[in-house]
Structure formats: structure tokens, C-alpha cells
Structure 1
């Protein structure tokens, strides 16, 4: 897995018991998903060639493994598990920066989407090439952190 992002868990990310709430786990993972999509496919919403295309998450499965209180710095790692004609399946791990303890895992399926037609669209050849290259790089120990 490749390190995608780091974040500090703030008091407003936490529930009445002082631990990060589900809504912020999803938000932190969503940031990581967007970073992975940009890195692994070359897609960027601000580039004119992508004006009519984007992504739609169609499935998330989260395993909450350890509690994360306010003040903890978390790192989110990710990898591409598989690539289809119009979608990719990705895996993520949220870990505490200090100690490396696993806090949560997310498995996601994300579909490449034609925003004007409101339907899935095939991944482009350059995207597929980048995804293959990115997946190969993610498998090399020198490129990724992940525990």
C-alpha cells in the first residue's frame, strides 16, 4: 500500500465519548480515495479534458478496528485491488502515525462516470496504463509505506 494522506483527529471529529465518529472516518477515507484516483489514473476535476467525467462510489465496506481519540495523527494508505471496464476496486488502511496501530480498513468500488449522461463510462486507455503502472509500483517495497 502507498501512503496517501495524513490527518489530525480534531475534537469536532469526535463523539460524546471522545472518539472519532463514523462520519469523519468516511470523510478521511474520502480524501484518500480522491488522492488515489488522481495519482493512479491522472484524473483531475480541474482539467478541461475531464469536465464531463468523474467518479461515483458505489460500495464501501468499513471495518472499525481500533478507537481513535482527539489529537491522534492518522495516516491512510491505499492500493488498487482490481480494475474493470468502468470501475476500480480499492483497499485502504487508516493507521495511527505513532505506533502504527490499525484503526480502520475500507474496501471501495468506484465507477468512472459520465456526468452529463449520468451513467458509467469505460476507463480510458491512458487510465488503464497508469493503473497498471501504479499497481506495479505499489507492490514494490521502496515505493510504499503501509504496514
Structure 2
């Protein structure tokens, strides 16, 4: 593999959540920063993008969380190009702890080039496709799909379809100015942020849990897939519907469908594999039998990303 270092920093206290580790939205934030640097390596650096009015972004993300990262942890991200096509690049990145050299998280992205103002898709310049050979890499076993599958995205659902299926409302809110990039569009971090912020409400409505009152057990995501379908802008109203797809002895998989509240059109669809977490031992635990029985009653057939 020929991965390049594309980001280096550390986990900040304000990036941590109720579980005491870096929140999932900041993983995507740092992966996007790494993608910007990788763009430099293929001839699509920030000055050229700004001059042309272009944006390098992702249309599909797969993320695996292999080791939790707590406040103060130093890390770097390395990455490269797996495939280079005229309409999209397949990008691989991995976050590595600076001291242990353990891989903490992996990211597979289908990256696209778009007009910043309209988000109209563009073809990659031939020069970028050629330069991608200089940072060519492969996806290692630890970055491959595991609990989720790399299937073609389903047809975009509608809000009416989500409500008919029995999915529950877990988030409602406005796209805030500081959620957006220079062109006024919501960044990938905040797609994940909306889902992350919804989880306490999801658990409250499905299991009666209040995370603020439980300091011994919690949960953690092992794997996410996001398919970005819409282009929410500052001031747009969003609503999230969530439902349970599968349950096993150790994991459960949630589906999240994000919609424009006014139009009912899909903004994004996502799946997440999660585990129960012992917050004192910092280890995963089997799903308690009574919790599993309760979760199995919540499974909705036909959910997907």
C-alpha cells in the first residue's frame, strides 16, 4: 500500500460524548479534513478548488470504529486512492494512535467532485485520475465491511413511508449556520451529528433509558454506513426517523432516515451496528436477555440504507 499521512492532531475534551470517548461526528470531521489533504496529492488542492468553485466531498461513507479514542489521545490519519473513475474516486483512510500505532477507525468513501454553489456533479480532471496512481492503495481486512454489507443503496424513502413503517421520530431541528461550509451546505460531520444527537431520544422511546442517569452502562457504535442523498442548506428543517433492523446476542443494527421536514424528501439514509458497553471496564458486554427480548419486538422488516 502507498498511503500518505493526511492529518495529525489529538482528541479534544469538547469532542467527547456521554460515553467518555470521541463522538462519532468528529471522526467524520477529521476524515473530511484528511480528504482535503488527499486532494492536494492528486492535484486538487484548496487553491485550485476555490478558484474553480469546486468541492471534493463524499456521497457514501463506510466507517468502522475499532478502538475508542479518549480526550488527549494523539493520532494521525493516513490514506490513499483505491479506485479512480471519471465520476467518483474510492478513498480509504485510517486513523492511527500515535503512541500504540493501533488503528482506531477506518473510512471508505466514494468521493465526488461537485460545483460548490449548486452541488452539480462534475467529472474528475484527467490529471487527477493520473496522479491518483501515485497514492494508490488497497482496503485492508480491518477496513472491510463486517456487520454491514456493501450493497447498492435502496431507492430513496419518503417521510410518509417511514411513518407508515413504524419508525419513530428521534430528531427535529434547523440547519444552523455553523453547521455549513463556505457555500452554505451542511457538512458531513453534522449529518452524523444529527444521528448521534438522536440516540438518547431513541433509547428513551424504545427502552425507557435516560443516559444522563446511567453511569455504569452505555453503548458504542462499531460500524456506520451513510448514503448522502440531499443537499440541506442553512435554515432548512430536518427530521429523523429511526428503526431497528436486526438484533443478535451481542449487537443490534439501527436504521436512520433523515428527511427535509417541508418536502418529505430523503436527505440521507444510514445504518449503524452498536454494542452495549460497560463504562467502568470500558469493554463490550452481551446484550442482557431482557433487553434483547425487548429489542426483538422493535424490529421492522424491510429497513435498509
- Among 261, 270, 278, the alignment partner of 1:114 is 278
Q: SS of the counterpart of 1:134?
A: coil
Q: Which has the greater radius of gyration?
A: 2
TM-score (norm 2): 0.42
Alpha-carbon distance in structure 1 between the residues aligned to 2:286 and 2:209: 13
Q: Does 1:11 align with 2:171?
A: no
Aligned partners of 2:222 and 2:273 also within 8 Å: yes
Alpha-carbon distance in structure 1 between the residues aligned to 2:280 and 2:226: 30
- Among 177, 191, 194, the alignment partner of 1:25 is 191
In structure 1, the partner of 2:22 is none
Give matches, 1:50-129, under 5 Å.
Answer: 50-129=214-293
Per the TM alignment, residue 88 of structure 1 is displaced from its structure 2 partner at its CA by 0.9
Q: SS of the counterpart of 1:95?
A: strand
In structure 2, the partner of 1:130 is 294
Per-residue CA shift, 1:85-116, capped at 9, x if unaligned? 12210110110001101101111011101112
Aligned partners of 2:170 and 2:202 also within 8 Å: yes
Alpha-carbon distance in structure 1 between the residues aligned to 2:212 and 2:181: 35
Alpha-carbon distance in structure 2 between the residues aligned to 1:33 and 1:83: 17
Alpha-carbon distance in structure 2 between the residues aligned to 1:35 and 1:73: 18
Question: 1-10 or 66-75, which moves further after superposition?
Answer: 1-10
Aligned partners of 2:200 and 2:210 also within 8 Å: no
Aligned partners of 1:42 and 1:130 also within 8 Å: no
Q: 1:86 to 1:43 in 2, by over 3 A?
A: farther
Q: Does 1:39 align with 2:222?
A: no
Per the TM alignment, residue 128 of structure 1 is displaced from its structure 2 partner at its CA by 1.8
Per the TM alignment, residue 44 of structure 1 is displaced from its structure 2 partner at its CA by 2.4
Alpha-carbon distance in structure 2 between the residues aligned to 1:34 and 1:106: 17
Pairwise CA RMSD: 1.6
Alpha-carbon distance in structure 2 between the residues aligned to 1:122 and 1:44: 20
Aligned partners of 1:19 and 1:69 also within 8 Å: yes
Q: Which runs of 4+ in 1 moved over 3 A?
A: none
Aligned partners of 2:200 and 2:211 also within 8 Å: no
Q: How many pairs are equivalent?
A: 135
